[in-house]
Amino acid sequence: MSKKVSKRFQELLKKIDREKEYGVDEAITTVKDLKSAKFDETVEVALKLNVDPRHADQMIRGSVVLPAGTGKTVRVAVIAKEAKADEAKAAGADIAGGAEIIEDIQAGNINFDVLIATPDMMGMVGKVGRVLGPKGLMPNPKTGTVTMDVAQAVKNAKGGQVNFRVDKHGNIHAGIGKVSFSAEDLTKNFNAFLQAINKQKPASAKGRYIKHGALSLTMSPSIDLDTQELLEIK
């Protein structure tokens, strides 16, 4: 790490009480004050959940549409047959079609951020699963990206849908907006995200469901969150 970056980071650390667990409102106000990059940084949430993803019933995975959006321009591709492809295009999909999209993916041309497919096309999509899977682009019913309602799926993806999935260590990371958002909009998005996580608490998970939570910007140190308050966001 260069001296310049290190000094910047140290200055930001002075704005955070490292011994404190922040409530949501104060954490969002504080994180907005940590802006230091020349670009519009993403506000990121990191959670440590008390789950064991090796057990199928404790694999936390899903999606949530953030009420204030993500602040990102999302390119959406839809793999569907003619009528559904037309429906997807009308709803705002950037790309919609069938075999030609699969061929592009096989050739390494991935010009989208979200891929949606109708259930009857998943056999075809499976052929490129090895390409899509590692990139987190494989359509999945749990995230609403395998569906016959392609129009709604496109609108969700364009309108601020965030997909989340717990890793093998029980961690979940997600962006909930940009530092340029108002504190009110960031709070709405944060609460919507936590509600989605809390709804998925497995019956078999023992002890405290959220063990740790933190809020940060793309280029900032993190702020520890009050986990009790996080658990109460329903």
CATH number at residue 84: 3.40.50.790
Q: Is 14 within a domain?
A: no
Same domain, 61 and 170: yes
Q: Which two tokens stand for residue 62?
A: 């899903």
pLDDT at 1: 43
Q: Which two tokens stand for residue 31?
A: 């994180």
Q: Is 105 within a domain?
A: yes
Tell me the C-alpha distance between 25 and 183, whole Å: 8
Specify the number of domains making up the chain. Answer: 2
Same domain, 133 and 190: no
Q: Which residue has the higher pLDDT, 8 or 217?
A: 217
pLDDT of 223 strictly over 90: yes
pLDDT at 5: 59
Q: Which two tokens stand for residue 79?
A: 């793999």
223: buried, middle or exposed (CB in 10 Å: 19+, 13-18, 0-12)?
buried
Residue-range definition of the domain harbouring residue 89: 76-158
pLDDT at 193: 98
Cβ atoms of 34 and 9 closer than 8 Å:
no
The strand ranges marked E within the chain are 42-49, 61-65, 76-79, 95-97, 114-117, 161-165, 171-178, 210-217, 223-224
Same domain, 167 and 211: yes
pLDDT at 45: 98
pLDDT tens-digit map of 85-128: 999 999 999 999 999 999 999 999 999 999 999 999 999 999 99
Q: Is 52 within a domain?
A: yes
Q: Helices 183-199 and 24-32 meet at what angle, rounded to 10?
A: 130
Mean pLDDT of the chain: 94
Same domain, 126 and 171: no
pLDDT at 2: 46
Q: Is 49 within a domain?
A: yes
Lowest mean pLDDT among 5-14, 134-143, 198-207: 5-14
pLDDT tens-digit map of 166-220: 999 999 999 999 999 999 999 999 999 999 999 999 998 888 999 999 999 999 9
pTM: 0.87
pLDDT at 82: 94
Q: Which residues of 102-122 are buried (b: 16+ CB within 10 A; e: fewer)?
A: bebbeeeebebbbbbbbeebb
